[in-house]
Structure 1
Amino acid sequence: MSYLRDGMWICDVDIESNSVVEYSYLLKNPDGTIVSEGLKKRFLPYFATNNGVVNDEFIYRDISTIFESKPFVNCLTKHVDYLPFPAINENDILLIVDAPLIEKNQGVAIVGEGDFLGNWQVDKKLIMYPSYNNLWWINLPYNHFLTHAEYKFVVYDKYSGEILKWEIGNNRRMPLIIPNAVYTKHINVDYNWHGSGVAIPVFSLRSSSDWGVGEFYDLIPFADWAKKNGHSLIQILPINDTTSTNTDLDSYPYKANSVYALHPMYLNIDAVGKLKNSAKYKEYINKAKKLNKLNSVDYSQVNKLKLSYLREYFDENYSLIISDTEFCDFIFNNNLWLKDYAVFSVLRNEFGTDDFTTWGQYALYNKSLVEEYY
């Protein structure tokens, strides 16, 4: 980019019509070090004409960057009524504000000078629309003499209309308003979010229908309980596969074999499906009930029982499983690690140890051997 004036940098970019453009800004210091923006990327709105102007602000990393992370954007402050950006045309400008930590019962608006901006009257505020990734937008008419008008972004209560927060600092001024333009800003407010949470291992969430250990499905009613009691977060212990010796020594949750593979112990057998052999199925259920009555988790016996069931179910339904679309998609989408880990698991069981240096010809990783073995 080329320096213009007053901290402004410009560049011209040619893009294909109707293409989706993702971009971000980098700041290069004199010593060569790079300063990047916050966590998320920017997306270029669609221009209805052949030419357009994008006026952005560089967003430095600060306390607000925390609230751009996925737990906040996709869960804690996600607005389900979001609207995509409209096409930009010669009659309007698109004003976008990056506003992290807007609660689900809150919205963003503009209050400013002049008739169109409400003459600083809060009951005449201009309501902005929520979009993806904490972005809020509004179309402003090109011909309403808004250039250099002073304004502020405000946070308001959606139900009462009350203004909850005003931007801190000096009033903003509208830039030179030109047609076919988009202006992106970053809201400047105090971030004083507080949230409570619960830390709990999944294996301790045992319910009456479990097989001696808490399971992934038990997180659903627990999350409902947490929400009912005003909690915002649930922290769990690691849930990745730790199988090394097929004994109680594998129960330590921080000794994971893979950052991808989850521990099969947490599978819900009811969700997997029933065995066709009803007598055999009943036998498994009776054993599971005994394990579920224990005061603590019998790690090795729980895993032995569940893995035995899963193998029998897989053998019974082999042809259906390998032709299932979702199953095939899962293998394809996780090809980066899944085949390698599957072969590792089989070799570990065959050799009775995860010490791969004792695996003979498989001691050193070889992609062709993995493909052949798989």
Structure 2
Amino acid sequence: MKKFRRYHRSPLYQVADALKNIEMETLETINPFVLAPWETRIQSDVEAMPQLHTVPGGSLQVAVSSSTRNGLVGFGVAIKKQPPRYRKLKLRTFSTTLGPRLEQNPFSAELAALAHTLNMLVGLKDYRITLLTSNKAAALTMRNPRQQSGQEFVCQSYKSMKRLRRNGNHINILWVPTNADNKLLGLAKEQARTATQKDAALQKSAPRMKSTTLKIARSHAAPSSDLPENVGGHVKRIDAALPGKHTRQLYDRLSWKEASVLAQLRTGMARLNGYLYRINAADTDQCACGQARETVEHFLFRCRKWTTQRTALLQCSQTHRANLSFFLGGKSSSDNQQWTPNLEVVRASIRFAITTGRLDAT
């Protein structure tokens, strides 16, 4: 009975109690990864405000801004379009009330604005599209999406950008400091304030953000000094350490290409038929060698197509051959607290994958 009372008073129980009346189906789904490691990320600039360059198809600037007032969250968009052949500039603005403050936040509103606008632009051809935002967290998230709140909007944006690129459009995102005098961002901010006027009607159905929901639930369950910190859509304890020491050891000294290859091998989300077939991107899960499913383990240690390239890899260890965890820097249950990954072996695995060219985008 005493244990039950102690648990009943615990912050974890109180958070669960605060969430009990919320329909879990309304919460967003956060997946381990937003994009496959080989997918192209959007170009971004968080340092300076470049000048637009005229291109044959034309130029287009999109400024997005968010507002939180009167218990509501909304976003505004301002679009400046320079059609080809120096025709007259076109300016368009609009606003959307995204949801109540108990479910949304300025960060999610910025991402929603980008997703909504990019979907509108899908029909364009041969344009240089520049996305402007004064929310640095949103700009960095678009450049390098992670396991975080707002994933659904990021996924929508990348699907639209993929279609836009097929039509010859060039897209980049730019962070502009709030103290910068940017007229287009000023127009977007005015529209965002319009979206959060009193009694404004919701114009868009959006999933409830987990980061916001958990933060509010924790605020009712814990003293202010124990509240989580909301950074760029992530909810974490203030004393949390992300990324961990192990992760930093593996990735900090790698180039972008090497890190991308290692991420594919460690997660299994690789350009191998075993994974591609699972996501309906390949007709079969079988390896081209015809011997087995093309998994990461089969690719690294068994596929006969890569026997020559595998020679240097197998020379790294006589006792751990075919041990996938060892070759990819994983820690086993038998390893003690002083264990560190064998970075030479990990690099050998990466070099093998790069040499085969099997994980390259086609």
Query: Which structure exhibits the higher relative contact order, with contacts defined as CA atoms closer than 8 Å and separated by 6 or more residues?
Result: 2
The structure in which a higher percent of residues are strand is 1
Scaled to the shorter chain, the TM-score interval is: under 0.3
TM-score (norm 1): 0.25
Rg comparison, structure with higher value: 1
TM-score by length of 2: 0.25
